[in-house]
Structure 1
Amino acid sequence: MSHPSLRAVLGTLAPYRPSAGLHGPAATTRPLSANESPHTPLPGVVEAVARAGATVNRYPDPGCGPLIRALARVHGTTEDRIAVGAGSLALLQALFQSVADPGAEAVHAWPSFEVYPTLAALAGVESVQVPLTDQTHDLRAMADRISPRTRLVIVCNPNNPTGTLVAHDELRAFLTLVPPTCLVAVDEAYHEYARGPAPSTALDLCAGHPNLVVLRTFSKAYGLAGLRTGYLVGDASVVGELRKACLPYAVSTVAQHAAVAALGLADQLLRRVDSTVAERTRVRDALLRQGWDVPDSRTNFLWLPLGPLAADFGTWCARRDIAVRAFPGLGVRVSVGAAEDDDHFLAAAGAWRSARPTATPGTGQTRQFRTTAEAS
């Protein structure tokens, strides 16, 4: 049987697969894999969604006018410096498509957000992956990999999946090493969870670097993962061009109204972020007491650099009805969730340690350990 001819690159890509058991009527798994907020929406957001739902027979505002105006007020900038998309992922896709001249390269750290290489391949851009150092971006090495073909550099800050943060001064110095003709995107999806005395956002660097754009999302701290809304801030001339690559009507009316409502309830929502940060500290401290190596996270998740043991530990958790995100050969990412779910995960992690006394979490090295099937 013959089949239609599709791009050859599709045969090289693996489909995105969320953790099993998270969706559908039979979903019972403790959801610690997708970095969602464990908090239900605030009443004000639910009310905005209900009101907007009565108008879904009409197309949404293609320019996202009220939302862009609200974002401009929040960030003290002008509306022409902001683009909105169906999650920051859609804006990342627009970035790759916008730089995809023949032979173009995109430089990013690895491991980092797992979709970067896929977006590059689909756009026909070569993905240049620079290994992390101590679970953190090696900005000097990234600068060294920039070539005349490099059209885009992405810094995921804080980094997904390791949770680590590039210091503001380091980022400022890095930007001086990037040619002004090369676009730099700082992906700040987890910005609200970062803590520390120094500023952690690249937004205040945009004025001095027209080639810099910063991405944010409503999916994490604002708890709107199911409505897919994100935004980008940068130089007005660059943003104007990037808007051309964004699909019209991509952000639904419900999503736009919910995001505006969430911005108005930011104080309440960010108090929830504070509770997640406190829970992150509790869970990390418990894992450290168990003997795990856990980098200091500035996100709503924790990273266990298990190396070759990562897939095995992911299976171990799944068999205990706990969904975590395993990156085979690298590590396991665990979202900070509700305290009850986190306690179940801690119990599973402790049981793993007891069942594998000779394993060395964090290094990926082990002298002898039983298989998951034997220890389950």
Structure 2
Amino acid sequence: MSSPQPRANIADIPPYVPGKPPTVRPGMTSYKLSSNENPYPPLPGVIEAVQAAVGQMNRYPDMGSTALYDALARELDVPVGDLSVATGSVGLIYQLVQAFCDPGDEVVFAWRSFEAYPIAVTAAGARTVQVPLLPDARHDLDAMAAAITDRTRIVLVCTPNNPTGPAVTRAELDAFLAQVPPHVLVVVDEAYLEFVRMADPVDGLATYRTHENVVLTRTFSKAYGLAGFRVGYAVAPAPVAAALRAVSLPFGVSTVAQTAAIASLERRAELLERVDALVAERTRVVDGLRERGWDVPEAQGNFVWFELGERTADFALAADELGIVVRPFAGEGARVTVGEPEANNRLLQLAASFPRRAAPL
């Protein structure tokens, strides 16, 4: 007997592996360092704004996200027509592929990078073109430019790169864009924008203003600490932003998410103080790891990357024994969020005891 069958490409979609919650250990506080979450609670005033919004849960959200669009337009000094909001920046990636790719079209991105990329591309019936990172875990932008064909519709540039950490410079991005055909959409994924501290950082807004094929994707999940509410936004030339809005899920961004995002934008100065504190912790962690002999890549997000190969599972298990849960990528390495100072101390403790290299056979 025949039965309903999904499209053939559905079986090819790789699963998304979320960060595990911490293991409960009696007498020990455990920490989740597996999902790049902000360890700070919501900013003062945000909970109160959300609580007021909860009283409207019997009503649909503002489908046009009018107040949020207006707040973003003021904050970024861009036209409302150049914005699109969605359920996190990952929602925008899905919408971009849906709006710009026919089945069989190609999407180029570095690998390893954000694991939702191949999921979104494969779900749309498009083809992934994965370009290996450089030995220092950075994007190989020249190789990515060379990988563009007449079937390429989108190129994804994750900066800082999740999960490895390095960010693209403005000069590198400008040189890359000069090689990209104007009909190919370049998505600059800036989920960790607020954590970047480097010479010649990408100026996403300036880049979008001078290129008709550039879209920025950003999120309130990381620096703003609204991961549980799922709200992100894109900045793009008006025709691109309109295409994103056209394929967006009706009422996708909830009332409380819109309210929390607006309240957080109003408290940006306090937010940046917290980001500075996390960056200081990141510096302490990276310096401590290098003092212990670890050659970790440049860290420009709120996480660090350990290239461990076949020892990745052992590293994750050893971390769990110390009360910290990390995000392992089987056979490749582990990403560890910069969290509370005590959690970071335990990571440095692990780094001191775990062998930096595999024992010789």
Distance 1:44 1:122 in 2: 39
Displacement of 1:244 in angstroms is: 0.6
Per the alignment, residue 205 of structure 2 pairs with 203
Paired with 2:147 and 2:17, the residues of 1 have a C-alpha distance of 31
CA distance in 2, matches of 1:241, 1:107: 20
Q: Deviations over 1:137-172 (max 9, x none)?
A: 011100000000000000001110111011101101
Whether the 8 Å contact between 2:159 and 2:166 is mirrored in structure 1 is yes
Report the residue type matching 1:83 in the other structure.
Answer: S
1:228 — aligned with what?
Answer: 230
Task: Identify if the C-alpha distance between structure 1 residues 23 and 351 changes in structure 2 by more than 3 Å, giving closer, same or farther.
Answer: closer
What is the CA deviation profile of residues 18-39 of structure 1, one whole-angstrom value per residue up to 9, with x for unaligned ones? 2333499x99641101001000
Q: Given the superposition, is the C-alpha separation of residues 312 and 78 from structure 1 closer, same or farther in structure 2, using an over 3 Å criterion?
A: same
Query: Could you tell me how far 1:12 is from its partner in structure 2?
Result: 3.1
% same residue: 48
Equivalent position amino acid for 2:190 in 1: E
CA RMSD of aligned residues (A): 1.9
CA deviations 1:92-142 (Å, max 9, x no partner) are 100111122132000000000011011111011100000011200011100
What do residues 180-200 of structure 1 show as CA deviations (whole Å, max 9, x unaligned)?
A: 111110000000000134242
* Runs of at least 5 residues in structure 1 that lack an aligned partner in the other structure: 354-358, 369-376
CA distance in 1, matches of 2:8, 2:29: 38
2:99 is matched with 98
Question: Structure 2: which 5+ residue stretches go unaligned?
Answer: none
The separation in 2 between residues aligned to 1:293 and 1:3, in whole angstroms, is 53
- Counterpart-to-counterpart distance in 2, 1:87 and 1:173: 29
Q: Alpha-carbon deviation of 1:209?
A: 0.9
Query: Does the CA-based 8 Å contact 2:13-2:118 persist in structure 1?
Result: no
Q: Is structure 2 residue 216 aligned with structure 1 residue 214? A: yes
2:320 equivalent in structure 1: 318
Q: Supply the distance in 2 between the matched residues of 1:157 and 1:100 (Cα, whole angstroms).
A: 22
Asked if 1:57 is matched to 2:58, the reply is: yes
Q: Which residue of 2 aligns with 1:161?
A: 163
Matching residue of 2:360: 367
Residue pair 1:21, 1:29 contacting (<8 A) in 2 also? no
For 1:367, give the aligned amino acid.
P
Per-residue CA distance 1:318-366 (angstroms, 9 max, x = gap): 233311011122211100000011112222222213xxxxx52xxxx54
**Contact 2:160–2:192 (8 Å) recurs in 1:** yes
In structure 2, C-alpha distance between the alignment counterparts of 1:64 and 1:12, rounded to whole Å? 34
Give the C-alpha shift of residue 173 in structure 1: 1.3
Letter in 1 for 2:91: A
Matched, 1:7 2:11: no
CA distance in 1, matches of 2:149, 2:302: 34
In 1: Cα distance, 2:201 partner to 2:169 partner: 8
2:354 alignment partner, SS class: helix
Greater mean alpha carbon deviation, residues 303-312 or residues 69-78: 303-312
Q: Which has the higher contact order (CA 8 A, sep 6+)?
A: 2
SS at match of 2:349: helix
Pair 1:302 & 2:295 matched: no
| TM-score normalised by structure 1 residue count | 0.91
Range moving further from structure 2, 136-145 or 310-319: 310-319
CA, structure 1 residues 29+5, in 2 after alignment: closer, same or farther (shift >3 Å)?
A: farther
